[in-house]
Structure 1
Amino acid sequence: MRSRSIPIALGVLTVLAAGFVAGYTPKRHARAESTVPTRPRVAVVTPKVLASERVMVLPGSVQALEETVVYARVSGYTKRWLADIGDEVREGQTLAEIDTPELDQELEQAAAQLEQAKAAATQANAHRDYSKTTLERYRKLGSAGLASQQDLDQRRAQSLVDEADVGVAQANVAAHEANIRRLVHLKSFARVVAPFHGTVVSRTIERGALVTVGNTVPLFKIAATDPVRVLVQIPQDLSPSVQTGLGAKVSVREYPTQSFDGVIARSAHALDPTSRTMNTVVRVPNPSNKLLVGMYAQVSLTLPAPHRVLEVPATALLNDAKGVRVTTVCAHDAIRSIPIVIERDTGATIEVASGLDGGERIVKIARPDLRDGEVVEVVP
């Protein structure tokens, strides 16, 4: 009995020893491996090169291509008006007629003064001719000893005076003729005409109303609305890309399903010191007058980027006392921080203007604990 219990005990001990060895050995290896220093594991991404063109939607304001207020150039009373609000007028078309009684009287007076000046000029010519004849007669008498030298000098002086009187009379005639031309030209402004082809925006003139010269009381306001101008402010980062002739899409909320094609007509070539934007004009055809002056519009522009732009995840950005930067993994898996300049923050991604060349391996999720030169393990 005793002899059989001994082998059984030895078997149990063997099984227990084997179980101890099987359970202790992995733990020993794990403790041994835990004492070996491990490298931080990071995931990396490569910057994405964005397209060379950038689409922007900017607010704009619809304005007339030309707009002016018409004032009276002569004083008088409104005889009649021939155009009203909303009428399309051509350049040179009569808008109103002004009765000018005072100007008419001035014109008649100037005509009478001109006739008087002409008569005076005729009289001066007669005196000059008489003086010349008398002077020649006294010269002959003087050579014959029948007239004194004093008489001869007196006749010569009188001839010069009469010659000068002729010049004065002729200048007086020319002055009166110029005055008549001025009054006739001024009289032409009694017919108020449109300065260019456009639409009458407002009319403040009434029949019989007194109008005076100056810019105090406007008569009409005219605007040219085909094409129209849409003023838009271009941000500083894209202002160097603005070129005359580039296309644009204009939309207004009154026509949600329709857009209007336009082109960049001109730009200020200077930035506003307050907003750091450049005033740009987009010209849009408007034959049906759907775009009204004063409308708020949205302008879609496709502008070439002035420099290459790279895109990285927003999670890769570090922004602290050392500045804005991203963490890159060099060739030997060493960490290196690179400062960058942000072009645009879209929320999920960051568009980088400078600092990267596009071939870097960037740590996808930034870790402030990583230091330059530290070796990391790049996970697939």
Structure 2
Amino acid sequence: MSSEASMHPSQQLSKRGLRVAGLVVAVVLAAVVVIGLVTRASQASNLKTWTQEQAVPSVTVVTPQPGSKGPVLDLPGRLEAYVRAPIYAQVSGYLKDWKTDIGAPVKTGELLGEISTPEIDQQLLQARADLASAKANADLAAITAKRWQAMLGSDSVAQQDVDQRTGDYAAKMAMMNAAQANVDRLMATKAFARLVAPFDGVVTARDTDVGALINAGGGTGPELFVVSDIHKLRVYVQVPQAYGPSIRPGSDAVLVVPEYPGRDFHAQVIATSNAVNATSGTTLVQLMVDNQDSKLMPGSFAHVHFSLPVDSAALRVPASSLIFDNAGLRVATVGGDNKVMFKNVSILFDYGKTVEIGSGLGAGDRVIDSPPDGIKNGDPVKIASDDATAKPHEKA
């Protein structure tokens, strides 16, 4: 009898169970290995796909937009009185007294000061005496001429004698008229001893005092007083040549002065010089600002803000989209194939957060906002938006 036949039946069943269990374990191990290999291959494929996706940068794009309002041109300006009249002396002498000091409002013809003119007073006395003498001589010559004219009718005198007396009378009348003119001249000169206000305004300067020696001559002697009309003020601004055509009479502007922070004063352009200064390249613009409350002071400095008209052809993009490198000023755009295309641009006006582009961009371009470092022309990009369309940027 063989050895297997001699085995007990329970032993035979046990060996058969072990074989089945080993086979099951082998199948399970094989399945685990297969599943692991498949999973690893899938993960490697997903990692490769993810890596490739991450290699394409994601960008945000905006579309250039026309501005809703024009740029603001900020320039320095100076304020001047609407009318300013320096008062000079037309007679020499000593200042007798002054009636008004700086800051005093005055009316037309109001006395500002008076000059003591002893020399003119003496000249006037002499001129009046000369006038009285000339008048007496003229009266005597008139009587004499009448008498000789009467005697001519009786043929008791010659015509020549009558003509001489008549001529003497005419000469004496001329001398009297000359003496009268001299008196009138001195009286007119004496009237200039009274310094009066030429118009309603404010005394903005007093450069003399009682007892001061006054020398006659407008423009050569010192200014004794200055009267200014400040109910309105003129504003003078030097505007760069490029902006001259945009600022015409009737344009509005806003003034800001240091002494009133946060307060705006409205002015209007009333005239331009229509010429460019060859030295500065600017044109002079004159504005008018109301000053009924006398808040503004002539001679002071002001910032003048001009609101320029909107340029419908100019487009605006965020300042963060600009790239400045050795290739110049550029922006990165996304083409129809989602690849980067650089465009050279020029700036018309800088608004801070946005810039106005003068050339290089079209209204339909998709501009990359804050382009990533190292981006190159022709690189593929992915647009970071749900619908993959560019969103307009906020207008300035």
Q: How does the TM-score come out when normalised to structure 1? A: 0.70
Flag the structure with larger Rg: 2
Are the structure 2 counterparts of residues 113 and 35 from structure 1 closer, same or farther at C-alpha, using a change threshold of 3 Å?
closer
Are the structure 2 counterparts of residues 314 and 174 from structure 1 closer, same or farther at C-alpha, using a change threshold of 3 Å?
same
Residue 318 in 1 paired to residue 335 in 2?
Answer: no
How do 1:183-202 residues align onto structure 2 when only pairs under 5 Å count?
A: 183-202=186-205
Runs of 5+ consecutive residues of structure 2 not aligned to the other structure? 1-14, 153-159, 161-166, 389-396
**Equivalent residue for 1:54?**
71
Deviations 1:154-203 (A, max 9, x none): x9xxxxxxxx9999999988876765554444333222222222111233
Q: Secondary structure at the match of 1:43?
A: strand
**Equivalent residue for 2:267?**
262
Q: Residues of 2 paired with 1:32 and 1:284: CA distance?
A: 70
Residue 226 in 1 paired to residue 236 in 2?
Answer: no
Residue 109 of structure 2 is aligned with which of 92, 95, 98? 92
Q: 2:333–2:343: 8 Å Cα contact kept in structure 1?
A: yes
Q: Residues of 2 paired with 1:29 and 1:209: CA distance?
A: 102
Are the structure 2 counterparts of residues 287 and 26 from structure 1 closer, same or farther at C-alpha, using a change threshold of 3 Å?
closer
Deviations 1:286-317 (A, max 9, x none): 22322233444444443324664422122321
How do 1:344-363 residues align onto structure 2 when only pairs under 5 Å count?
A: 344-363=349-368
Deviations 1:259-301 (A, max 9, x none): 4333233344455666655544442222232223344444444
Question: Residue 72 of structure 1: CA displacement?
Answer: 0.6
Question: Residue 333 of structure 1: CA displacement?
Answer: 4.2
**Equivalent residue for 1:370?**
376
Q: 1:326–1:362: 8 Å Cα contact kept in structure 2?
A: yes
Q: Residues of 2 paired with 1:307 and 1:67: CA distance?
A: 43
Greater CA deviation, 320-329 or 174-183?
174-183
Q: Residues of 1 paired with 2:110 and 2:39: CA distance?
A: 110
How do 1:325-340 residues align onto structure 2 when only pairs under 5 Å count?
A: 325-333=330-338, 335-340=340-345
Question: Residue 87 of structure 1: CA displacement?
Answer: 2.1
Q: Secondary structure at the match of 1:287?
A: coil
RMSD, aligned α-carbons:
4.5
Residue 103 of structure 1 is aligned with which of 120, 124, 141? 120
Q: 1:68–1:221: 8 Å Cα contact kept in structure 2?
A: yes
Which amino acid letter does the alignment assign opposite residue 247 of structure 1?
D
Q: Sequence identity, in percent? A: 35
How do 1:46-85 residues align onto structure 2 when only pairs under 5 Å count?
A: 46-55=63-72, 58-85=75-102
Deviations 1:79-100 (A, max 9, x none): 4433333221223333233333
Greater CA deviation, 283-292 or 21-30?
21-30
Question: Residue 226 of structure 1: CA displacement?
Answer: 0.9
Q: Secondary structure at the match of 2:370?
A: coil
Q: Residues of 2 paired with 1:269 and 1:347: CA distance?
A: 31
Question: Residue 227 of structure 1: CA displacement?
Answer: 1.3
Q: Residues of 1 paired with 2:340 and 2:52: CA distance?
A: 24
Q: Residues of 2 paired with 1:334 and 1:23: CA distance?
A: 34
How do 1:1-380 residues align onto structure 2 when only pairs under 5 Å count?
A: 1=15, 3-4=19-20, 5-27=22-44, 42-55=59-72, 58-107=75-124, 109=126, 182-214=185-217, 215-234=220-239, 238-256=243-261, 258-270=263-275, 278-305=283-310, 308-333=313-338, 335-366=340-371, 369-371=375-377, 374=378, 376-379=380-383, 380=388
Q: Residues of 2 paired with 1:261 and 1:117: CA distance?
A: 65
Q: Residues of 2 paired with 1:251 and 1:41: CA distance?
A: 46
Which amino acid letter does the alignment assign opposite residue 189 of structure 1?
F
Q: 2:314–2:357: 8 Å Cα contact kept in structure 1?
A: yes
Q: Secondary structure at the match of 1:53?
A: coil
Q: Secondary structure at the match of 2:90?
A: coil
Which amino acid letter does the alignment assign opposite residue 101 of structure 2?
D
Q: Residues of 1 paired with 2:46 and 2:71: CA distance?
A: 58
Q: 2:70–2:311: 8 Å Cα contact kept in structure 1?
A: no
Q: Residues of 2 paired with 1:33 and 1:295: CA distance?
A: 67
Q: 1:307–1:353: 8 Å Cα contact kept in structure 2?
A: no
Q: Residues of 1 paired with 2:356 and 2:51: CA distance?
A: 41
Q: Secondary structure at the match of 1:363?
A: strand
Q: 1:251–1:259: 8 Å Cα contact kept in structure 2?
A: yes
Q: Secondary structure at the match of 1:22?
A: helix
Q: Secondary structure at the match of 1:218?
A: coil
Which amino acid letter does the alignment assign opposite residue 117 of structure 2?
T
Runs of 5+ consecutive residues of structure 1 not aligned to the other structure? 134-154, 156-163
Q: 2:250–2:268: 8 Å Cα contact kept in structure 1?
A: yes
Q: 1:318–1:368: 8 Å Cα contact kept in structure 2?
A: no
Question: Residue 52 of structure 1: CA displacement?
Answer: 3.3
Q: Secondary structure at the match of 2:224?
A: strand
Give the total of aligned pairs. Answer: 350
Q: Secondary structure at the match of 1:326?
A: strand
